[in-house]
Amino acid sequence: MARYPKDHRQQTRERIVQAATEAFKTEGIDGVGIARVMGRAGLTHGGFYAHFQNKDDLVSAVLSGTPASSMHARVQHAREAGDGLDGVARGYLSRAHRDHPESGCVLPSLSGELARQPEAVRSALNVSLEAMLAELAGLSTAPDDAGRRADALSTLAGMVGAVALSRAVSDPSLSDEILKATRDTLTRRAAPPAPDVP
């Protein structure tokens, strides 16, 4: 009998989470069943229960890692470019992000559905959201913790809402306008204050 590598189980679980993440972002949580997720992962339906108790457990796993790791990458990119929250907002509020939900943040695609999910799923979202807020607050120029958290909250809410709304409307010009107006507002607010002129 062939032996699997020691990390085979973890790799398989990650494959299922990745397949679910992509499927949920494009088709919604309610639009995708376990069989479809497992098919996307190249696995049999029966193998699902070796890794997850049920679909809610899978959704929680998606929310536990995906949004925070995606935001971490955006924040790191902004830091490396010497940007603050304005750099994150520029990248997030882009046509590319709007037009490719499968490779973007999970929150604009799923936030409407998540409000109707069980408490365990929403609790996983709370944990991930706190990690995202901590990342964003680290880029804020506000003078205290409360101000930095408020900056992070309003930036995240503005970005997620704008991308979700820009995807929902049927008028391409209006969709672009939503992104641009939100991007302009958030980047203007997040820009460091101009130095005093003597």
- Work out the number of other CB atoms within 10 angstroms of the CB of residue 109: 23
Domain assignment of residue 75, yes or no: yes
Q: What is the pLDDT of residue 5?
A: 67
Domain assignment of residue 180, yes or no: yes
Q: What is the pLDDT of residue 196?
A: 53
Domain assignment of residue 152, yes or no: yes
- Work out the number of other CB atoms within 10 angstroms of the CB of residue 65: 16
Q: What is the pLDDT of residue 70?
A: 84
Domain assignment of residue 150, yes or no: yes
Domain assignment of residue 106, yes or no: yes
Domain assignment of residue 105, yes or no: yes
- The number of distinct structural domains making up the chain is 1
Q: What DSSP letter does each residue of the chain carry, written as one string? A: -PPPPTTHHHHHHHHHHHHHHHHHHHH-STT--HHHHHHHTT--GGGGGGT-SSHHHHHHHHHHHHHHHHHHHHHHHHHHTT--HHHHHHHHSSHHHHH-GGGS-HHHHHHHHHTTS-HHHHHHHHHHHHHHHHHHHTT---SSHHHHHHHHHHHHHHHHHHHHHHHH-S-HHHHHHHHHHHHHHHHHHHSPPPPPP-
CATH number, domain containing residue 87: 1.10.357.10
Q: What is the pLDDT of residue 1?
A: 46
Domain assignment of residue 7, yes or no: no
Per-residue model confidence as pLDDT tens for the chain (198 residues) = 456 666 878 899 999 999 999 999 999 999 999 999 999 999 998 889 999 999 999 999 999 877 788 888 899 999 898 899 999 999 999 999 999 998 889 999 998 899 999 999 999 999 999 999 999 999 999 999 999 999 999 999 999 999 999 999 999 999 999 999 999 999 987 665 555 555
